């Protein structure tokens, strides 16, 4: 019973991901200081999964991508994750993803 349920759920997620139109985001120089829970390669499976949910096609891009990002607005902000400068995330992406993230070195 459980395996049938997992197959149905997986099929529904795959169908949903396939139904969402994808766009390739522009990669521009980083301009926005962000605190991200992690930074991974755009080719990693976790980044691909989040991008697919947002309708983004990151295939062919080779840039660092921040996951779980929020803007750093105050100097000295205690970032519990990784402090990076990224392309300003699109409002539609929420705080799920930021493109072309470069570590902030002090």
Q: Which of 26, 102, 94 is nearest to 64 (CA)?
A: 102
pLDDT tier, 105 (very low <50, low <70, confident <90, very high otherwise): confident
pLDDT tier, 91 (very low <50, low <70, confident <90, very high otherwise): low
Tell me the per-residue pLDDT of 14-44, one tens digit each, with 9 for 90 and over: 554 454 555 666 566 677 888 889 999 988 9
In DSSP terms, which residues pair with 32 in a beta bridge?
86
Tell me the per-residue pLDDT of 43-57, one tens digit each, with 9 for 90 and over: 898 898 888 888 888
């Amino acid at each position: 019973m459980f395996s049938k349920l997992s197959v149905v759920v997986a099929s529904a997620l795959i169908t949903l991901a396939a139904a969402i139109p994808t766009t390739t985001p522009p990669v521009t120089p980083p301009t926005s200081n962000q605190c991200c829970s992690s930074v991974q390669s755009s080719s990693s499976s976790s980044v691909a999964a989040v991008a697919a949910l947002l309708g983004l096609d990151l295939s062919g891009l080779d840039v660092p991508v921040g996951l779980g990002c929020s803007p750093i607005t105050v100097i000295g902000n205690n970032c519990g994750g990784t402090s990076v400068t990224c392309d300003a995330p699109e409002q539609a992406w929420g705080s799920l993803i930021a493109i072309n993230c470069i570590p902030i070195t002090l």
